[in-house]
Amino acid sequence: MSTKTLVRNEQDEEIAPRTTPTDRRDGVVGVGRPGFGWAAPAAVFFGLFALVPLILVAVLSFATWNGLSDPEFAGLDNWKKLFDDPVLIQSLWLSVLLTVLGVAVQTPLSILLGVWAAGHQRNRAILSAIYFVPLLLSVAAVSVLWRAVLDPNFGVPAQASWLFGDGNLFGHQASAIGVLVFVSTWQFTPLHTLIYQGAARAVPQVLYQAAQIDGAGTVRQFFHITLPQLRNSIITSMILMVVGGLTTFDTVLILTQGGPGTDTTISAYYMYQKAFKSFDYGTASAVGLLLVLVATVISLVMVRLSGYDKMRSTMEGL
Amino acid sequence: MTHAATRTVRRERPNFLAGFGSLIWLFLVGLPLYVMLVATFQSRADYAANGPLSLPRHFTLDNYIDDFNNGFGQYFVNTVVVTVCVVGIVLLLVPPLAYAIVRGRGRLTSGVFRLFLLGLAIPAQAVIVPMFYVISQAGLYDNLIGVILPTAAFAMPVCTLILTGSMRDITPELYEAMTMDGASPRRIFFRLVLPLSRSGLSTIIVFTALQAWNGFLFPLVLTQSASTKVITMGLYDFQTEHGVDIPGLLAAVVLSMLPILIVYLFARRALVQGLMGVGGK
Amino acid sequence: MTLRARMPRTAIVGGAALALLLSLSGCGTGSGTAGSDDGKIHILVYGDAANKVEKQLIATFNKQSKVKAVLDTIPGADYQAKLQTVINSKQAPDVFFNWGGGSIKPFVDADLLMPLDDFIAKDPELKTRFLPSVFNSAEIDGKPYGVPMRGTQPVLFFHNKQVLEDAGVKPPKTWDELLHAVKAIKAKGVTPIALGGGDRWPTLMWFEYLFDRVAGPGLFQKALDGDKAAWESADSKKALGMIRDLVDAGAFGTNFDSVKFTDQGSPTLLATGKAGFELMGSWEYSTQQDAHPEFAKKDLGYTAFPTVKGGKGDASDLVGNTNNFYSVLKKTEHPEAVAEFLKLQYSDEFVKAQLGIGNLPTTTNTPLFLQKAASPGYAKFQYELVEKAPAFQLSWDQAYPQSAATSMYQAIQQFFNGQLDEGGFIKAMQALPTS
């Protein structure tokens, strides 16, 4: 990471003296390169409909407001309240826990499924078409379905009491978290499987042929060729999982409503409660902003690691 | 297996372990889907009496028929309009942006990329209240356009991430060659970048379409009349103050996913290829 | 090719294309802008199956009125959230559905609602045609803010006659009889009481009734008025102790937190004989008719909640949703039309239509039509209960301000399943915001 930054700085300094006025730089060095104009419409559009509201959220986080009367400036009150609030602290931990568990379960599963589905056999094609279906269902539908399947008296737990005991899956923290992780895995694994399927097919066959000549078995090939070749896909899919994990809330809303008690009240759901159940928009905005900050830091770090932002240095090779 | 073996050299013997694992997953995926399908062909009374895991007994299509009588057609049209427009906006705005990010070198452009990475992390429900004010100030409340704009905006970060990955696969030599010929950025964009990132484009189409199709929060807060209802809002018709009509709800879910499933089956190849771009190999 | 020159061109092309796309999408889409400025009155209602009666009444109204009414609905679960968002914006409705009590208190405090005194002065029937115990629960600071609509929903104690017979017990009239029945049913290997704890509001009903029976309606009213000590009183602790004992006796089984009423979990337990009792709002009856018609006809029994020996509450006190109400926004531009619309809420047509879909209106003309109800016997039973009840306690979650509901549910669930002890529960309830 540090070398990359270094490279960029050098370039900037190198270019800087020559770039005044800017148009000359574009005219001379950047022949055939798109200018900011190409990015502008998207930036303006996104700014208007995503960033303006976000800025308003930031402002609201320093106010008390119930949506009815005018917002009142409250300084750091909301923030102070939050950091004394055991439910918030717990919710941050739960968010991280759910995200980490989600990544830990989904990543190996979707890599295995993806690599498996990358084979060209017909049965695999049919199966992967079925695997894809959960992705098409809205979260509300998925949650209603699993609630029915996991009903302690009429669902699977009633048939398999050796595994589920009294079936009180939503009555204990550990099992409720387990259900949440499982259901999101069920719904989002297809997406990541597809990512890996595509990437696995792109691995040059030559590599495998060479390995076979060296006498490497399937397992060795998987660890020494397939996995390293999937590195970029793994990071992309992880970014999506992390961001998705930190911002999930409808699964919680429908499956557990944050319960039992506050045991599955993750931050995004906590914010929703503050905003739409308690109508404390100030505090809700503070929680929201906190969540945005956490997710941004994490995704920036991951993007750095993945090399998504290295485009400048690769392009300099031109 | 022998056919497969000739095609992919590395798999010369069947992998029983993987096959077994894939069957377990098939069961896990299939069970709820089975529950869903069976439920939709039962009356409410039968479903309640038999429980979710039972075999279907009295086959009925009433749930599906009721859905159509409840205005599903109108919701369907609205949802199609929203989805098409959202996909349209994203296709119009994101490819030039991704191109600028991959090939541009201005500080502004890289700032914009960072902005979009930030956007990746904004949960929609965090901004929904201010969003309501922005949209209603713009006079777009209870209008499908008011749903389309924010939905598109919130689909853009992921699409940008995917498409930049896909565009970075285009080797520098190709750009160089075109630049040598004196091609303008516009020419490069249309002649080189777009054709070579078709797979990435198909991916963002599917992502965006899925997001728009299943969108919930924006239609909920930003519309209110029956004439602007989308399918996800229509699903609530099966909820009463104290209960849910599960078979009716699930039938509507099946109906709502069918169009996308059909699109998927036809576009599967493009999609899988498109996702190759995501890793930015 | 300067940076400055290039930016606008692409931007303009993109912008123009975008505008074109939007204008195209605009055609054909219903761009019915809501709001009170279109010369109509907007009626905002909880979106569910009962909407067909509201539609019918609005059609009737539109036939007789120059100012037309429009029905807007919000999908159920998110009704309150959405209402709070729009009510102080220019998209606010003229008239809206609510639960009275705490559900409209914040709006009254924000000076958004119109007290209905003037309407009532012009047409006293807007008040006198409704049962007082119901009408009063939409009074705030002594002023009426709501006209009852839809029906009353008292909480009743339902049972499965077959299960009770098998266990050799009668529907309990007193708390001791209930404890005895619980023991007898449990001995048969059946869960004595079905509870949809996953929804949390069904759990709350047990607290509401026990606090009423033990302490009378006054205690909760004190707590609601801000007297935190009420929760620490001996009566409060006695009621909590009784709940604790009932749970510990296994009356609800062990997995009630994973059962819901809303997905038919607990009603099915009752209907299939896997449970003996269920404490539920009056809608249990229509739920059972829908899902288990055989059972509803043959084996579904209902009684009032048992009395508690030595308790201060009257045996005929009720708890539940007293009614749904229509409230009126101060800034409506058509108050006369709104008043006319509200009058329809005690019309014969309204009563008949509500009875037809299983709701029980609380108008004074309701008894005339009870024979036309979907289930006349049941409707009559309920109407008499409500008519005679000395106190009809609005559900706690609706009596308190909305902002208290989440924490209240959490405390209720945690006390019930043992995560919170008595002291913890009392503290949690004391921490709730009162008005």
Q: Of C28-37, C265-274, C356-365, where does mean pLDDT reach its minimum?
A: C28-37
Q: Is residue A116 in a domain?
A: yes
Range C66-89 average pLDDT: 85
By DSSP bridging, strand C41-47 and strand C69-75 are: parallel
Q: Of A139-148, C42-51, C144-153, C266-275, where does mean pLDDT reach its minimum?
A: A139-148
Q: Of C163-177, C214-228, C284-298, where does mean pLDDT reach its minimum?
A: C284-298
pLDDT of res. C9: 42
The counts of H helices and E strands in chain A are 19, 2
Question: Is residue B130 very low, low, confident or very high in pLDDT (cuts 50, 70, 90)?
Answer: confident
What CATH topology corresponds to B64-280? Answer: MetI-like fold (1.10.3720)
Q: Is residue A22 in a domain?
A: no
pLDDT of res. B240: 67
Question: Is residue B12 very low, low, confident or very high in pLDDT (cuts 50, 70, 90)?
Answer: very low
Q: Do B224 and C91 touch (CB under 8 A)?
A: yes
By DSSP bridging, strand A72-73 and strand A63-64 are: antiparallel
pLDDT of res. B232: 83
**Half-sphere exposure in the Cβ direction for C309 (13 Å, CA):** 6
Most confident of A6-15, A100-109, A199-208: A100-109
The CATH number of the domain where A209 resides is what?
1.10.3720.10
Structure confidence by residue, pLDDT tens digits, B244-279: 778 888 888 888 888 878 877 777 766 666 555 544
Is B236 an interface residue toward C (CB < 8 Å)? Answer: yes
Q: Of A88-97, B124-133, C166-175, where does mean pLDDT reach its minimum?
A: B124-133
Is C264 an interface residue toward B (CB < 8 Å)? Answer: yes
Q: Which residue has the higher pLDDT, B60 or C249?
A: C249
* Residue of A66, A150, A263, A265 to mutate for C, most C C-beta atoms under 10 A: A66
Chain C residues touching residue A151 (CB < 8 angstroms): 258-259, 263, 265
- Give the count of domains, chain A: 1
Give Cα separations from A215 to A211, A219, B16 (angstroms).
6, 12, 20
pTM of the model: 0.84
Is A170 an interface residue toward B (CB < 8 Å)? Answer: no
3-state secondary structure labels for all residues of chain C: CCHHHHHHHHHHHHHHHHHHHHHHHHCCCCCCCCCHHHCCEEEEEEECCCHHHHHHHHHHHHHHCCCCEEEEEEEHHHHHHHHHHHCCCCCCCCEEEECCHHHCHHHHHCCCECCCHHHHHHCCHHHHCECHHHHHHHEECCEECCEEECCCEEEEEEEEHHHHHHHCCCCCCEHHHHHHHHHHHHHCCCEEEECCCCCCHHHHHHHHHHHHHHHCHHHHHHHHCCCHHHHHCHHHHHHHHHHHHHHHCCCCCCCHHHCCCCCCHHHHHHHCCCEEEEEEECCHHHHHHHHCHHHHHHCEEEECCCECCCCCCCCCCEEEECCEEEEEECCCCCHHHHHHHHHHHHCHHHHHHHHHCCCCCCECCHHHHHHHCCCHHHHHHHHHHHHHCCCEEECHHHHCCHHHHHHHHHHHHHHHCCCCCHHHHHHHHHCCCCC
By DSSP bridging, strand B239-240 and strand B243-244 are: antiparallel
Q: Do A133 and B261 touch (CB under 8 A)?
A: yes
pLDDT of res. A1: 35
Q: Of A13-27, A183-197, A276-290, C99-113, where does mean pLDDT reach its minimum?
A: A13-27
Task: Report ipTM (2 d.p.).
Answer: 0.81
Q: Is residue A228 in a domain?
A: yes
**In terms of Cα–Cα distance, which of C53, C55, C89 is closest to C72?**
C55
pLDDT of res. C366: 94
Domain residue ranges in chain C = 40-152+323-391, 153-320+400-430
The single residue listed with the structure tokens 């000590």 is: C229
Q: Do A260 and C257 touch (CB under 8 A)?
A: yes
Write out the two tokens for C251: 């009356």
Return the number of other C-beta atoms located less than 10 Å from residue B107's C-beta. 12
**Whether B223 contacts B146, CB under 8 Å:** yes
Q: What is the DSSP letter of B42?
A: S
Phi then psi for C255, rounded to 5 degrees? -110, 25
Give Cα separations from A228 to A220, A224, B9, B149, B281 (angstroms).
12, 7, 19, 40, 11
**Whether C310 contacts C174, CB under 8 Å:** no
Structure confidence by residue, pLDDT tens digits, B167-211: 877 778 888 888 888 888 888 899 888 888 876 787 788 778 888
Residue-number span of the structural domain to which A205 is assigned? 79-313
> In the predicted model, what is the mean pLDDT of chain B?
81
Is C15 an interface residue toward B (CB < 8 Å)? Answer: no
pLDDT of res. B52: 80
pLDDT of res. A309: 56
pLDDT of res. B114: 80
pLDDT of res. B272: 61
Is B109 an interface residue toward A (CB < 8 Å)? Answer: yes
Range B217-243 average pLDDT: 80
* Residue of B53, B81, B208, B241 to mutate for C, most C C-beta atoms under 10 A: B241
Q: Do C25 and B81 touch (CB under 8 A)?
A: yes
Strand-pairing partners, residue C143, are C140
Return the number of other C-beta atoms located less than 10 Å from residue A233's C-beta. 29
CA distance, residue C276 to nearest chain A CA (Å) = 15
Chain C residues touching residue B96 (CB < 8 angstroms): 10, 14
Strand-pairing partners, residue C275, are C191
Residue C161 has pLDDT above 50, yes or no: yes
Q: Of A114-123, C98-107, C199-208, C286-295, where does mean pLDDT reach its minimum?
A: A114-123
Distance of CA C319 to the CA centre of its chain: 11
- CATH number for the domain formed by residue range(s) C40-152+323-391: 3.40.190.10
The single residue listed with the structure tokens 């389309």 is: B148
Q: Which CATH superfamily is domain C153-320+400-430 in?
A: Periplasmic binding protein-like II (3.40.190.10)
Distance of CA B238 to the CA centre of its chain: 24
CA-nearest residue to A159 within chain B is: B53
Structure confidence by residue, pLDDT tens digits, A236-281: 788 788 878 887 887 888 889 888 989 999 998 998 888 888 888 8
Residue C178 has pLDDT above 60, yes or no: yes
Q: Which residue has the higher pLDDT, B13 or B24?
A: B24
Phi-psi region of C89 (alpha: psi -120 to 50; beta: other; left: phi over 0): beta
Structure confidence by residue, pLDDT tens digits, C217-229: 999 999 999 999 9
pLDDT of res. A251: 86
Question: Is residue C25 very low, low, confident or very high in pLDDT (cuts 50, 70, 90)?
Answer: very low
CA distance, residue B97 to nearest chain A CA (Å) = 4
Q: Do B243 and C74 touch (CB under 8 A)?
A: no
Q: Considering CB atoms only, which of C21, C86, C262 is closest to B244? A: C262
Range B52-72 average pLDDT: 81
**In terms of Cα–Cα distance, which of B257, A284, B10 is closest to C406?**
A284
Is B138 an interface residue toward A (CB < 8 Å)? Answer: no
pLDDT of res. C123: 94
Range C405-430 average pLDDT: 95
pLDDT of res. C5: 36
**In terms of Cα–Cα distance, which of C326, C332, A290, C429 is closest to A282?**
A290
Three-class SS state of A32: coil
pLDDT of res. B270: 64
**Half-sphere exposure in the Cβ direction for A206 (13 Å, CA):** 1
pLDDT of res. B271: 62
Three-class SS state of B217: helix
Residue B222 has pLDDT above 70, yes or no: yes
Q: Do A147 and C263 touch (CB under 8 A)?
A: yes
Residue A145 has pLDDT above 80, yes or no: yes
pLDDT of res. B108: 84
**Whether C77 contacts C262, CB under 8 Å:** no
Domain residue ranges in chain B = 15-60, 64-280
> In the predicted model, what is the mean pLDDT of chain A?
80
Residue C341 has pLDDT above 80, yes or no: yes
